[in-house]
Amino acid sequence: MGQSSGNRRTVELLARLMGAGWAVALSIAGGAGGGFWLDGQFDTSPVLTLVGLAIGIVVAFAGMIRILSAMWNGNSDGSAGEPGNGARR
């Protein structure tokens, strides 16, 4: 039973980390893609692409901090607002 529980925790951790990676990638790609599209609409190349990229990086960084702090505190729902909720003792 101990081996199965350890494997389950490892799989859950890997799934959360993969989800965090996708969140970072989509935030950065979405910001850059949105800026690129706006550059095409307003003929301001590459200004809005760089602004969108910067916004995407900031959003990705903030999201990564939130996800990792929730994982560090042991919250299974991903919320970092309640420290100690579900923490291991």
User: Does some domain include residue 85?
Assistant: no
Residue 74 pLDDT: 80
Instruction: Give the model confidence (pLDDT) of 32-85 as tens digits.
Output: 999 999 999 999 999 999 999 999 999 999 999 999 898 888 875 655 555 555
Q: Which domain holds residue 12?
A: 2-73
Residue 32, classified by CB atoms within 10 Å of its CB into exposed (0-12), middle (13-18) or buried (19+), is buried
Residue 89 pLDDT: 41
Candidates 70, 61, 50; CA nearest to 25 is 61
How many domains does the chain contain in total? 1
User: Does some domain include residue 66?
Assistant: yes
User: How many Cβ atoms are within 10 Å of 9's Cβ, its own excluded?
Assistant: 10
User: Does some domain include residue 36?
Assistant: yes
State how far the alpha carbon of 72 is from the alpha carbons of 12, 19, 40, 54, 76, in Å: 14, 15, 42, 27, 10
User: Does some domain include residue 79?
Assistant: no
User: Does some domain include residue 53?
Assistant: yes
